[in-house]
């Protein structure tokens, strides 16, 4: 009836097939042209960013050359070899000038980034900060110390890209709280370091600024997402850096590059002014923290940051100053330990490092205690990793005008598989022991599941974990960290390998990494026998990722209860001292 009435009102028109075809073709052509224009616009943005980067490097190289001509007698190697505490002391007493130290590190940073591509850009305003600190009445704890900062930690007048093209046009209007406090303490931020695209990877590559290399082996990754910091500090181009950690992003580069790195309790240092690619990861809090060549450097940095200035600038930060008494204590520690989390078995050298460190601690008068595994442990790790790599969060930051980096493609492609497709693949691949990974990916599409994880699971498990900790009367925990350095391209294929670090992000415990050894020929031979959980393709891939690592750093992870960063650092210092004594023997 309705169709009849419409025909009476509207005249019938005969559709011309050729006109319809022409319309269809023109629409398709318009879409192709539009996509080409968008891609071309992205390419122009990337080219402009690279030109700006290259121009900045050339300007800084010219400034360094002018300084060298004015002061040709600078003992570069002597300055670069000074530990942070000694360098800070020399600057405080005036036997070294801040300008000499700054330009010495600028020159070295230029050399390191030419080899590893670790910098996004220098901070030209470092010269202004140099002049400003020399006019201050009181010298801060970091007076004259050049410091590098990760890309997404805001510095006024500079980009904060997170490795994303869509952020190239946005300039930060105000220093982050952390940068303000560093400047107040006399530090000189001089460089912004490279990161992986979206920060959701523990390699260090993005389409704009390219791949960062490990300074010890250019076939290996420096880790991520604070990989630029790791490469720069390990290469000698910075003495102190600030990174961030949401799944191991300070600890993994520290492990891969042989550095010390601390992930504090998330709220211990201000996050104000540090941007992220997405918001909404409620149960996995981000933490900012220091990276350096030794533990004393981390302690000095934390002592400088935990000051009244930070507490006033960001009232959400608990006003807890650094407890020097705890850090300086020499009382014996009761140390819980484990060499595998039972979820993703690590290479033999990393487990060896835990056992050797445990033995050294026991010989030094500490009391190692083997914790009893919690029944809910494996399930918690699986759900925690599911939460961290939640599909919509990863895809949302790449959905608006971004070319996906090759190192992120396998990760993004997994996220794009429809829910039904994941179910079918899980069924087909079940005999190959791959179903658990696909099951994880399939479940991550459920918004309700995300809410349950974010609001209930971490709190429940944190309570259980602390209860077990108290029952065993532990002071600290010694455990493995992922390593040694992966071959470039593998981190994006082995996301679940971060279980050893991710656990303490979800629990929100302070955790640090200390290098204690290097990969030996015996480790490499033992790796050939490694079978992991069930010798499946993931285990085989891990063997490929870490193969050829003889001589590269091997580290352990040190953990304390929330808000006990000083105790965590004190434990790290003990581990560092014992490992150095062993190497010197």
What per-residue confidence (pLDDT) applies to 270?
98
Q: Choose, from 139, 150, 180, 220, the residue flagged as catalytic.
A: 150
- Interatomic CA distance for residues 245 and 227, integer angstroms: 11
* CATH number for the domain whose boundaries are 37-322: 3.90.1300.10
- Residue numbers in the known binding site for substrate are 199, 225, 246-249
Helix (H, G, I), strand (E, B) or coil at 559: strand
Q: Give me the pLDDT at residue 453, please.
A: 42
Map out the domains of the chain as residue ranges.
Answer: 37-322, 334-372+460-510+528-585, 377-459
Q: By mean pLDDT, which of 123-132, 366-375, 443-452, 468-477 is the weakest?
A: 443-452
pLDDT of residue 345: 87
Residue 428 has pLDDT above 80, yes or no: no
Answer whether residue 449 shows pLDDT above 60: no
**pLDDT exceeds cutoff 90 at 258:** yes
User: Is the pTM of the predicted complex or chain greater than 0.85?
Assistant: yes
Per DSSP, 535 falls in state S
Distances (CA, A) of 188 to 77, 129, 132, 138: 20, 6, 10, 15
Banded model confidence at residue 533, pLDDT cuts 50, 70, 90? confident
Reply yes or no on whether the pLDDT at 82 is more than 90: yes
φ/ψ of 87, rounded to 5, equals -60, -45
pLDDT at residue 398 tops 90: no
**Known active-site residue 225:** yes
Please say if the pLDDT value at position 104 is more than 90: yes
pLDDT-derived band of residue 446, with 50, 70 and 90 as boundaries?
A: very low
Q: Are 297 and 261 in contact (CB under 8 A)?
A: no
Of 148, 160, 176, 225, which residue is the catalytic one? 225
3-state SS class at 367: strand
Question: For position 437, what pLDDT does the model report?
Answer: 47
Residue 129 has pLDDT above 70, yes or no: yes
Q: What is the pLDDT of residue 59?
A: 97
What is the model's pLDDT at position 427?
Answer: 65
Q: What percent of the chain has pLDDT over 70?
A: 84
Let me know if 423 is a catalytic residue. Answer: no
278: confidence class by pLDDT, cuts 50, 70, 90: low
560: tokens are 């304390």
pLDDT of res. 377: 56
Average pLDDT over residues 312-330: 98
Given a cut of 90, whether residue 110 has pLDDT beyond it is: yes
Q: Is 409 part of the annotated catalytic residue set?
A: no
Beta bridge partners of 191: 122, 148
d(CA 460, CA 464): 6
- Residue 6 is predicted with a pLDDT of 47
What's the CA gap between 54 and 49, in Å, rounded?
A: 9
**What average pLDDT does this structure show over 294-313?**
98
497: pLDDT strictly greater than 60: yes
What mean pLDDT value characterizes the chain?
87
- Helix, strand or coil for residue 392? helix
Residue in 301, 322, 300 with CA at minimum distance from that of residue 311: 322
Q: State the pLDDT at residue 436.
A: 46
**Binding-site annotation: residue ranges:** 199, 225, 246-249
Residue in 160, 176, 238, 249 annotated catalytic: 249
Higher pLDDT, 398 or 96: 96
Lookup: tokens for 200 = 């959701």
Spatial distance between the Cα atoms of 569 and 585, rounded to a whole number of angstroms: 24
> So what's the pLDDT on residue 312?
98
The predicted structure's pLDDT at residue 29:
81
Mean pLDDT for the stretch of residues 238-265 = 97
pLDDT at residue number 452: 38
The more confident residue out of 153 and 453 is 153
- Report the pLDDT averaged over residues 47-53: 95
Q: What is the mean pLDDT of residues 163-181?
A: 94
User: What residues have CB less than 8 Å from 307, skipping those under 6 apart?
Assistant: 181, 184, 185, 321
E-strand spans in 98-187?
119-122, 146-150
């Amino acid at each position: 009836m309705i169709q009849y009435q419409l025909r009476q009102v509207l005249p019938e028109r005969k559709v011309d097939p050729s006109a319809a075809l022409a319309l269809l073709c023109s629409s398709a052509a318009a879409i192709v042209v539009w996509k080409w224009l968008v891609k071309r616009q992205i390419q122009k943005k990337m080219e402009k960013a690279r030109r700006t980067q290259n121009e900045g490097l050339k300007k800084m190289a010219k400034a360094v050359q002018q300084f060298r001509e004015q002061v040709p007698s600078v003992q570069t190697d002597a300055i670069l070899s000074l530990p942070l505490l000694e360098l800070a002391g020399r600057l405080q007493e005036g036997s070294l000038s801040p300008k000499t130290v700054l330009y010495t590190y600028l020159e070295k940073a230029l050399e390191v980034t030419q080899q590893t591509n670790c910098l996004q850009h220098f901070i030209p305003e470092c010269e202004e900060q140099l002049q400003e600190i020399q006019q201050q009445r009181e010298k801060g704890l970091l007076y004259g110390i050049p410091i590098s900062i990760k890309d997404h930690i805001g510095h006024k007048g500079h980009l904060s890209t997170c490795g994303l093209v869509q952020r190239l046009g946005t300039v930060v209007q105000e220093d982050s709280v952390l940068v303000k406090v560093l400047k107040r303490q006399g530090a000189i931020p001089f460089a912004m370091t490279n990161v992986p695209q979206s920060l959701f990877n523990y390699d260090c590559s993005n389409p704009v600024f390219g791949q960062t290399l490990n300074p010890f082996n250019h076939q290996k990754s420096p880790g991520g997402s604070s990989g630029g910091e790791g490469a720069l500090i390990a290469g000698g181009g910075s003495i102190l850096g600030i990174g961030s950690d949401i799944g191991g992003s300070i600890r993994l580069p520290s492990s891969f590059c042989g550095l010390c790195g601390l992930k504090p309790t998330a709220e211990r240092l201000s996050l104000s002014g540090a941007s992220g690619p997405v918001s909404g990861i409620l149960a996995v809090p981000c933490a900012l923290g220091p990276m350096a060549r030794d533990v004393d450097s981390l302690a000095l940095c934390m002592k400088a940051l935990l000051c009244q200035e930070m507490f006033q600038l960001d009232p959400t930060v608990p006003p807890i100053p650094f407890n020097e008494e705890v850090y300086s204590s020499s009382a014996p520690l009761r140390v819980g330990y484990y060499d595998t989390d039972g979820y993703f078995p690590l290479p033999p050298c990393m487990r060896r490092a835990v056992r050797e460190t445990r033995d050294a601690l026991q010989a030094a008068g500490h009391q190692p205690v083997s914790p009893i595994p919690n029944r809910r442990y494996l399930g918690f790790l699986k759900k925690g990793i599911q939460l961290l790599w939640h599909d919509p969060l990863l895809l949302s930051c790449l959905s608006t005008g971004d070319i996906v980096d090759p190192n992120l493609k396998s990760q993004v492609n997994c996220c794009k598989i429809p829910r039904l497709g994941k179910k079918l693949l899980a069924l087909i691949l079940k005999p190959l022991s791959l179903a658990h990974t696909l099951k994880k990916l399939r479940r991550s599409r459920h918004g309700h599941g995300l809410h349950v994880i974010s609001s209930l699971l971490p709190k429940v498990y944190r309570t259980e974990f602390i209860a077990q900790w108290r029952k065993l009367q532990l002071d600290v925990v010694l455990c493995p960290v992922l390593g040694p350095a992966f071959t470039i391209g593998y981190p994006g294929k082995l996301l679940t390998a971060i279980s050893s670090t991710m656990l303490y992000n979800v629990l929100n415990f302070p955790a640090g990494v200390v290098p204690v050894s290097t990969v030996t020929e015996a480790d490499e031979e033992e790796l050939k026998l490694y079978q992991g959980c069930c010798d499946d393709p993931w285990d085989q891939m891990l063997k490929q990722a870490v193969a050829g690592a003889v001589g590269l750093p091997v580290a352990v992870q040190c953990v304390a209860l929330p808000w006990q960063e000083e105790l965590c650092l004190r434990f790290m210092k003990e581990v560092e001292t014992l490992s150095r004594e062993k190497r010197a023997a």
